[in-house]
Amino acid sequence: MTTELIHGTHSKESLGALIDLTRYPIDDSNHPVRTSIVESCRRQLVETGCARLECCLNPEAVLAMANEVDERLALVDRTADWQNPYLSDDDESLPSDHPVRRFHYRKNAFLCRDRFVEGDLMDRIFLLMELLKFVRDCLGLTQLYHYADPMSGYLINVQDDGETFPWHFDTNEFTISAMVQKPEGGGAFEYVPAIRNSESENYDAVAAVMDGERGNVIALPLEPGDLQIFKGRYSLHRVTEVKGQRPRYTAIFGYSEQPGVISNASRKLKLFGRCLDAHLEAETHRPVRADNLRD
Ligand SMILES: [Fe+2]
């Protein structure tokens, strides 16, 4: 345990170096400002599947995070693949224009959790119990745990000039991400809220978006330091092509409603091109899903 920790929580000074506590008093569960932010987030999540916490991370911390990533760029796992919105295999029994059969090119890189060490800013922010409890409250959950995966518990998504992350659904119900570095151009986060639900894939609407239908597409403006809570299992989403020499860095922090959750090897190999022994072990267990949707 580090000296800054007192009974699992941080001193105001150490927490305030990472989070703007004046605007987001996440460490005081009775603070009326915290209560109203939590209520606003819950409302946004119901209405659009996404809540944006503007300038939640301190600018100095965000700059230092970007420097941490710069220093480790030689350690990124870079992969490219053709992927459909479900990150699944092709199904030749379906018509050729079916969304399951539409593959777009993805090329990007990840700086995984195992490339960071204890005390790094990414590690410190991820492990903040105050942040975990705040996110739990915003999601309206009674239990929330740190995602235990040794590679993707937290990570940085790195997108260089010309790279894109095409339309897809997430396997997990929600993600917490932070913009760490904006590119010179492009790299917009776009999503279509609740285009599918646990009962229906709504393939026609998914196909329409992939054909260019923009009616229900929301483009979320994200600035460095913004934190985003996003329900990505039911909302189709993508990052548009990045333009310019400065790469787009996004931090993704994983949380789970179950303790000890680790992803399996096949998904790790697809996204990162490598995995650890813990993922091979997880391959023998069936993933837990709250629905019967394609992944
Ligand atoms: Fe996603």
Q: How far is the CA of 96 from the centre of ligand 1 (A)?
A: 24
Q: How far is the CA of 238 from the centre of ligand 1 (A)?
A: 7
**Res 119: pLDDT:** 92
Q: How far is the CA of 267 from the centre of ligand 1 (A)?
A: 13
Strands 185-186 and 236-239: unpaired
**Res 291: pLDDT:** 65
Sheet strand arrangement including 227-230: 50-53, 227-230, 175-181, 248-253, 154-159, 104-112, 77-83
Which residues in the chain show pLDDT less than 50?
1-4, 6-7
Q: How far is the CA of 295 from the centre of ligand 1 (A)?
A: 11
23 belongs to a structural domain: yes
Longest dimension (CA), the chain: 60
Q: Which residue has the tokens 């179950």?
A: 258
Q: How far is the CA of 170 from the centre of ligand 1 (A)?
A: 5
In total, the chain counts a number of residues equal to: 295
Contact 151, 279 (CB under 8 A): yes
290 belongs to a structural domain: no
Q: How far is the CA of 188 from the centre of ligand 1 (A)?
A: 13
The CA–CA distances, whole Å, from 197 to 131, 200, 236 equal 28, 5, 11
Q: Looking at the 3D structure of the chain, how many domains does it have?
A: 1
Within 13 A of 33's CA, how many CA atoms are on the CB side?
9
Q: How far is the CA of 168 from the centre of ligand 1 (A)?
A: 6
Q: How far is the CA of 125 from the centre of ligand 1 (A)?
A: 21
Residue 37 is part of which domain span?
5-282
Q: How far is the CA of 37 from the centre of ligand 1 (A)?
A: 24
Q: How far is the CA of 232 from the centre of ligand 1 (A)?
A: 6
Q: How far is the CA of 239 from the centre of ligand 1 (A)?
A: 9
Q: How far is the CA of 107 from the centre of ligand 1 (A)?
A: 14
Residue by residue, DSSP assigns 175-215 as: EEEEEEE--SEE--EEEETTSS-SS---HHHHHHHHTT--T
Q: Which residue has the tokens 């996003």?
A: 230
Q: How far is the CA of 234 from the centre of ligand 1 (A)?
A: 11
For 20, the token pair is 């703007």
Q: How far is the CA of 174 from the centre of ligand 1 (A)?
A: 9
Among 20, 31, 274, 41, smallest CA distance to 151 is for 274
Q: What is the CATH number of the domain that holds 132?
A: 2.60.120.620
Q: Which residue has the tokens 């987001």?
A: 24
291 belongs to a structural domain: no
292 belongs to a structural domain: no
Q: How far is the CA of 237 from the centre of ligand 1 (A)?
A: 6
Is pTM, for the whole model, over 0.85?
A: yes
Q: How far is the CA of 88 from the centre of ligand 1 (A)?
A: 14
**Res 3: pLDDT:** 40
**Res 208: pLDDT:** 97
Q: How far is the CA of 120 from the centre of ligand 1 (A)?
A: 24
288 belongs to a structural domain: no
Q: How far is the CA of 190 from the centre of ligand 1 (A)?
A: 11
Q: How far is the CA of 108 from the centre of ligand 1 (A)?
A: 13
Q: How far is the CA of 46 from the centre of ligand 1 (A)?
A: 18
289 belongs to a structural domain: no
Phi, psi of 106 (to 5 degrees): -120, 130
**Res 242: pLDDT:** 96
**Res 1: pLDDT:** 42
Q: How far is the CA of 171 from the centre of ligand 1 (A)?
A: 8
Residues 6+ apart with CB under 8 A from 215: none
**Res 7: pLDDT:** 46
**Res 6: pLDDT:** 46
206 belongs to a structural domain: yes
287 belongs to a structural domain: no
